[in-house]
Structure 1
Amino acid sequence: MTTPNRMQKVALVTGGNKGIGIAIVRGLAREGFTVLLGARSAEVGRAAAATVDGDVRPVVLDVTNQDQIDGLVADVADEFGRLDVLVNNAGVNTLTFRPLEDLPKPSEETVDDFKNVYEVNVFGVVRMIAAFLPLLTNAAAPRIVNVTSKRGSIGEAGAWVGQPSMVYSSSKTAVNAITVHYAREFADTTLKINGAAPGHVATDFNDFRGTRTPEEGAAVAVRLATLPADGPTGAVFEDDTQLAW
């Protein structure tokens, strides 16, 4: 890594090499952040970082690998001494492990489906927050953004379109609850933690069947990552609309 500018804010985006993740990286780079682009492969990370203007640095990161997470914490601590923004974007769905046409009905979901999806979408978020909290609390105005989904909202269930995956949707319900609990704990501090629901974005996650661009979906995460001191915490937003989760 190059010599750091310790005045420049530092953001880490998990799953930052494609789709909504790389769009979030671009948005934060435009805001002047040094952005650590998390990818499971060094080669993939370097290729993705090369497509973004700004101070973007690929880092090898699998959110299911505690050793990798701990190693990255040590590297960030050594170089920057803090982390200003953590965006938990990495995620999988049942279709990551099955063909698109095999989207199971709730009665067809298996315990293994839950284990595979929750390992990344839920436990990965907890691992990242727990590991990086000391560095986040070293920042003047730390922000955590958990990328979630309207399909994780019980209150918005009437707005769902098509057949949702019970496993994926419930994993995001868990992320919403996690977001609120952390926000309550840190309510009297400068740390703000919110959920960003990007909407139905066209990515390889859904075989590009979405109706929004990655940039449109990423905008809410970038906004929540750059909230002012009087901004909200413990909420879930799609664009500027707070969802009833």
Structure 2
Amino acid sequence: MTVITNHKFQKHWAALEARAAPAPGVAAKSSHSLRPRLVCCTLTGIDAGVPFETLQEVSRRHSYVEFGVLYSTSKQGKGQYPSLSWISKLALQAQEQPGVRLALHVCGGAVEDLLTGQGHVTEVAAAFPCILIKRLESREGYTIEGAAAALKTTEQWVHERIQDGTIRVTRAKWDRRRLYITEPMIQRLKEALARPRREKPLSKDWLMLNGGAAEAGVCTTTLIRWAEAGDLPRRQSNLGWRYHREDHREAVRAQARVYWENVRFHRATPPEWLQAEIL
């Protein structure tokens, strides 16, 4: 007894059987019927879960059936994308035991290998009487998660390279909701990893926490509260947080002026530079 583990194929086969069988109570039509004759029907997604004996049986009962084998460089061995070695074995069986019609469906990046005559897919394709190229224009790409995994880095690092313009993401033509990173962009990411971006050293105008608090005449807790509220931009460094940007002192002083105008503690002493401005 033949066991089919590819449930999608099993479903297609059942549909063929139903189409071939006459309806209950209706006599089978003669060969002279005007009903259109099915010339070819491709069942795509043949993998290791479908025994070769099953393909032979279907071919004997339905001579118009063709079996499509999907091949993808990045997906081979996963789902309905069998490995190249299994595809080679299948093609050899079909040559030794004629009667099974096969077609190789080349997907994604393997298309370029096939057209340029590179890679093992070219040798395997020579054994197939029919080759179908799928999605040549869209190619295959990586999701952000997939790119991070392939490059052994973090997703945050990939997002940063998108934001700083190192790479750009592509939107799939057949599904505008799908974003992916193409192979050329992956190469740019590899180059970026090989040459890490060097952060410019912070100038002396960037003050550390204690220096910023002293400049504003407040405690460090108040300075942190300003930064967390978004009133005082800050930047992370290897020595901790630095506050604001190039004219940092002026920014701190601007925030300090607002603070000291509304301070409730009249005995508190504002910084010397602010006292000089008041006088």
TM-score range, shorter chain: under 0.3
Question: TM-score if structure 1 supplies the norm length?
Answer: 0.27
Question: TM-score if structure 2 supplies the norm length?
Answer: 0.24
Which structure would you say has the larger RCO, counting Cα contacts within 8 Å and 6 or more residues apart? Answer: 1
Considering only CA atoms, is the larger Rg found in Structure 1 or Structure 2? 2
